[in-house]
Amino acid sequence: MTSILDSPKIYTFDIESAPNFFSCVIRHRSTRARWIFEVSEWHNDAPAFIEFVNAASRHACYFVGFNNFYFDWQVVEYLIAIGPTFTAADAHRKVDQLINGNRDDNFRFTVWGNDHKVRQIDLYLIHHFDNFAKSTSLKETEFNMRSPNIGDLPFVPGEPIRFEDRELILKYNCHDVDETEKFAEYSAPMIDFRAELIQTMGEDVLNYNDTKIGKKFFEQEIRTRAPHLLGTGRDKRQTPRSRIALADVILPKLDDAFETPQMQSTLALLKRTVLTQTKAPPELKDVSVTLNGFEMHVGAGGGHGSVEKQCVRSGDGWSLLDVDVAGYYPSIAIANGFYPEHLTKLFCEIYTDVAAQRAKHKKKTAPNEMLKLALNGVYGDSANPHSIFLDPQYTMQVTINGQLLLYLLTEKIVCHTNAKMVQLNTDGVTFLVRDEEKAMAVKICEWWEDFTGLTLEAAEYEAMWVRDCNSYIALYK
């Protein structure tokens, strides 16, 4: 299959800037030809650079970069506006503004995609590295790609450079372009998928991360079927909540499901609880329950519990089993008909359709991952005050019931076998069970699937090295 990166219109680029030096290296992917433009007190390629960019614009080319949409290309657009007389000082002024300037001012002066002189493909945005939790530099990608050489910036940012440093900086600039191109090859399936979606969605999603694409896809489905549910313009419809009574959230069928006094009292406590916020609610701060010495903590984002600083092994008549629900939170919403109030039951219909579409694609393929993140992203946005999916009660319906159902599974396992719990975390549980009781554990899981309408996926481990519920290594058997 031909990739968009194989097009003769694809170029990779990167810029460097100092008060008295500007360079831009551009490489043509098809022919491997390279252009090195320098504007400094010793050399002036400004007219040639502007001419090259204008030619790329006329021929509808694409420039591939890393963090280029909001940085490198904003500098280039600024220089295009000045024209062939721009200087290194002009470029550095824009660089300094982007790095150290007022965020609101930078946003106001941003040149957006539709107005770009040359269309951009930003690997940084596509991989969602602009998310604080996923923030990754080009150097880190070089390390992860096992590049033989990872160079550091050969000058002090913000300080003028010396004549003898020019060649080193240009070499560094070329190296970054080569590494960006290598990372683009790694990212080709993601780029091609976005290029295909532009045709089907009718929207430029080329630089959207997966979650943003997923939410946009879901929004389009609603807009197609019932546009009135979204509101108009800035007046988007939402369901904000000032308080959430968990008694209105918890599934009624859980009332008689628990058999231990610990879980029954925990359920009663939760049903008396009223949340005043969904992010780290103080009402849930110290809520936990212990079964057979295994402590499980209740949280607004999901339950968790784990042994700590242990190596847990199978053998000597014990099996180490792990069961979880694929796409747990979307599956709970679909199985129980949960939806943000303002989006009505149509939300459930679309949710079900998206899940069915995902099942048609192989795991780890771009369409499968996008649809997976569409399902998860919509849930995550239900607590976002700026989102069309806002309804914190829907958020709590999913998370509170999600953990209670896992507590139910845990209770049945420890009450009806001699199992030893190892971990409970968001969407599944891990436990040691005697070999002669594995059949009983399987029956309990099958009962749980019937009770919940959800499907468990099972794995068997040789061993687990556990620091805590968020940090562990598991070796499959």
- C-alpha span between 22 and 381 (Å, rounded): 41
- C-alpha span between 424 and 420 (Å, rounded): 12
458 within 8 A of 321, measured Cβ to Cβ: yes
DSSP 272: T
CATH number of 244-328+395-476: 3.90.1600
- Decide: helix, strand or coil at residue 399: helix
Tokens of 144: 């992860």
216 within 8 A of 373, measured Cβ to Cβ: no
DSSP string, 88-100: HHHHHHHHHHHHH
What is the full per-residue pLDDT of the chain (477 aa) written as tens digits? 688 999 999 999 999 999 999 999 999 999 999 999 999 999 999 999 999 999 999 999 999 999 999 999 999 999 999 999 999 999 999 999 999 999 888 888 999 999 999 999 999 999 999 988 889 999 999 998 998 888 778 888 889 999 999 999 999 999 999 999 999 999 998 899 888 888 877 889 999 988 888 888 888 888 888 888 887 767 788 999 999 999 999 999 999 999 999 999 999 999 999 999 888 889 998 899 999 999 999 988 888 899 999 999 999 999 999 999 988 988 999 999 999 999 999 999 988 888 888 888 887 776 777 777 777 778 888 988 989 999 999 999 999 999 999 999 999 999 999 999 999 988 999 999 999 999 999 999 999 999 999 999 999 999 999 998 889 999 999
- Decide: helix, strand or coil at residue 124: helix
- C-alpha span between 402 and 254 (Å, rounded): 11
pTM, two decimals, is 0.79
- C-alpha span between 375 and 391 (Å, rounded): 16
- C-alpha span between 359 and 37 (Å, rounded): 49
Instruction: Indicate the pairing of strand 456-468 with strand 420-425.
Output: unpaired
Query: What confidence score (pLDDT) does residue 380 get?
Result: 82
Crossing angle of helices 46-58/73-82, nearest 10°?
110
The alpha-carbon radius of gyration of the chain (Å, integer) is 27
Query: What confidence score (pLDDT) does residue 14 get?
Result: 98
What class does CATH assign to 4-208?
alpha beta
Query: What confidence score (pLDDT) does residue 366 get?
Result: 67
Burial of 85 (0-12, 13-18, 19+ CB in 10 A): exposed
Q: Please report the sign of the dihedral spanned by the C-alpha atoms of residue 36, residue 39, residue 44, residue 50.
A: positive
Q: Where are the domains of the chain?
A: 4-208, 244-328+395-476
